[in-house]
Structure 1
């Protein structure tokens, strides 16, 4: 993967600019390897969350195949009582960005727009 400074920049940009930021990670779908992760809560491990979210991605891919759909996952959003979790897949589906935010502080439209913006910064480097 080469120089990982762009991943450090990515997590800094996300954590600094996304209101309600809790955690972020970038994970390879095939291997489950996390390229980078960051959390602002000691009891919230984004790598553990990504491992479980990988299973969500795989299940959804299986469902799409079983339904015979000619479609790819763009993102998966899970709304909890006090958090929003977004699983944003790369165009090729080879990795995903997992982002958790505090739903009382986050604006969903802004969060998704910022995630898309910062995703562009890393999409060609992974």
Structure 2
């Protein structure tokens, strides 16, 4: 698993503002890149652990026997893309914040799928 390489590739996606690899069970950020004083990637990544946990709980309550590929949150000026990493026992996700004006969402999802292969188990 090459976290630094994966984060570098994620930040190369058009419109990328910040990226992180997060363990949603512990809430721990394993690595992050980008962001800044106007966008604290570590706070955003930690907060999105709650989003993933809520979706996992909801799927269990509904007895949905399936796996989450990604979760998309659209803001007026940003996209926030959460992609669960297969083979990580469902505990890791890639988090990517994108500038909506500069990003192509379909290409970003495709690229993030490729990035996940760098860290997949």
TM-score between both structures, scaled by the size of structure 1: 0.88
How many aligned residue pairs are there?
Answer: 119
1:40 positional shift: 4.1
Q: In structure 2, how many angstroms separate the alpha carbons of the residues matched to 1:43 and 1:25?
A: 16
Indicate the residue corresponding to 2:7 in structure 1.
11
Displaced runs of 4 or more, over 6 A: none
Indicate the residue corresponding to 1:73 in structure 2.
68
Query: Are the aligned partners of 1:90 and 1:123 in contact in 2 as well (CA < 8 Å)?
Result: yes
Aligned counterparts, 1:1-126, within 5 A = 6-15=2-11, 17-91=12-86, 92-124=89-121
SS of the residue 1:22 aligns to: strand
Unmatched 5+ stretches in structure 2: none
Unmatched 5+ stretches in structure 1: none
Q: In structure 1, how many angstroms separate the alpha carbons of the residues matched to 2:52 and 2:106?
A: 22
TM-score between both structures, scaled by the size of structure 2: 0.91
What is the RMSD computed on CA atoms of the aligned residues?
Answer: 1.3
